[in-house]
Amino acid sequence: MKEKADVYVIATSTDIQRTASVHTSSVRTDTVRTGEKIVHLKPDSGSTQLLSDKTRDLYRRDLTYWATWHQLCFDKPLTYPVALNTIKTFIIQHARDGLDLPVLEKLIGLGLRKDKTHWTHASLTRRLAALASAHHDRNLESLTRHPTIRQWLRRIRRHEATHAPRKPKSAITQDILKQLLDSCKTDALHDRRDRALFSVAFACGGRRRSEMRRMQKDHLTPVSHGYLIHVPLNKTDQEAKGNTVPLYGEAAKALDDWLAASGITSGAIFRGINNDGSLLENISTRAIARMIEKRCRLAGLDPKAFSAHSIRSGFVTECAHQNIPIGDVMQMTLHRSPDCVQRYYRCSSLEKNPAAHLLEQTN
């Protein structure tokens, strides 16, 4: 495996040669044919039961990718426990664009890859996490956290930080939220739904897409000036103990308006809408992301600057700007640790720090 001059070093040449020597089988691209039905591997019912639906789905897809990649590259099925050299080969091929073109094209043709670009640290880490979960469910030791693997991942992350830093998505703070809401002022059903979803997501603690998708009519308890909303499951409550957050004011009115217009009396509160105006049974998280992209364009904002998580980060950022105590914010966001919330407050305090404005002070 020849190193390119413009490629950062994950492993030394000796490491690569030692790894490659274990897998000397020639690549067979006719093992898995385009259009052939793929058997999607399902993790057993152990640790995966504590994962969110989205994570379980991703892990199933990732394990299918592992099995297909292994069959294509080494002409034999993937077996557990997965050998350390197999994991090393996987990282080298995916982080260094080392996959042979026929294998890449086959994986793309099977719908397991979108393109031929190399994978980032985050992408590799998730695939390794899926493999570790599969080992855990089989009561087997996983070598995905072997010291060598961890060292290689640190090198990849360090390279990304110095060569391709990612700009974080902007937060949808109160002023930006108002622009999005201004883009859905009509009485059309789509506008009523989007206005209600954005308002509720922001006002009751910056709720995540998955939480908005799962929100049911029987989760609402009417109270004076609004509702108490039961959140049965969230990212920090995988045991589904449940929490309650309040919804008051204009956001509650927007929700009432949507419920009255849609006629929803049970089931999912937020749903997809067909072209004929009929409602679907629910709404996908991807549809919610597309709603934000659409409203950003209508408001004259750059859709690429925001994501669905921007509502959550915007809520915390707005609270920081208004000096709301962190404890009160965490009651709404349902964060378990203050560390994640604290960084928004540090950014806000930097903007107001008088030491940052010394040259602006007059004598």
Q: What is the CATH number of the domain that holds 189?
A: 1.10.443.10
Instruction: Note the helical H segments in the chain.
Output: 13-22, 53-74, 84-95, 101-109, 121-137, 147-163, 174-182, 189-203, 209-214, 249-262, 285-298, 310-321, 326-333, 338-352
Domain identity same for 18 and 145: yes
C-beta neighbour count of 334 within 10 angstroms: 19
Number of domains in the chain: 2
Closest CA to 163 of 295, 7, 10: 7
Do 153 and 187 lie in one domain? The reply is: no
**pLDDT tens per residue across span 131-151:** 999 999 999 999 999 999 999
Same domain, 102 and 198: no
Closest by alpha carbon to 240, among 47, 49, 32? 49
Instruction: Give the tokens for residue 53.
Output: 């639906």
Does residue 358 form part of some domain?
Answer: no
pLDDT confidence bin for 52, thresholds 50/70/90: low
Tell me, what amino acid is at 145?
R
Is residue 71 included in any domain, yes or no?
Answer: yes
Do residues 48 and 146 share a domain? yes
281 Cβ partners below 8 Å, 6+ apart?
267, 268, 271
Q: What are 196's two structure tokens? A: 């209600």
User: Is residue 21 included in any domain, yes or no?
Assistant: yes
Claim to verify: residue 287 and residue 345 sit in the same structural domain: yes
Q: What is the rounded distance in angstroms from the CA atom of residue 355 to the CA atom of residue 347?
A: 14
d(CA 181, CA 21): 60
Are residues 57 and 202 both part of a single domain?
no
Choose the final residue of a domain: 120, 142, 163. 163
Question: Is the same domain home to 268 and 188?
Answer: yes
Domain match, 109 and 51 both = yes
Q: Are residues 51 and 98 located together in one domain of the fold?
A: yes
Helices 13-22 and 84-95: crossing angle, nearest 10°?
A: 120
How large is the angle between the packed helices 121-137 and 53-74, nearest 10 degrees?
A: 90
Instruction: Please give the backbone phi and psi of residue 234, each rounded to the nearest 5 degrees, phi first.
Output: -150, 180
pLDDT of 35 reads 38
Which residues lie across from 243 on neighbouring strands?
A: 231
Most confident among 119-128, 155-164, 331-340 (mean pLDDT) = 119-128
Residues 58 and 185 in one domain: no
Domain residues for 135? 13-163
> What's the predicted TM-score (pTM) here?
0.67
> pLDDT digit string (tens) for 207-266?
999 899 999 999 999 999 999 999 987 666 555 577 899 999 999 999 999 999 999 999
Sheet holding 243-248, edge to edge: 220-223, 226-231, 243-248
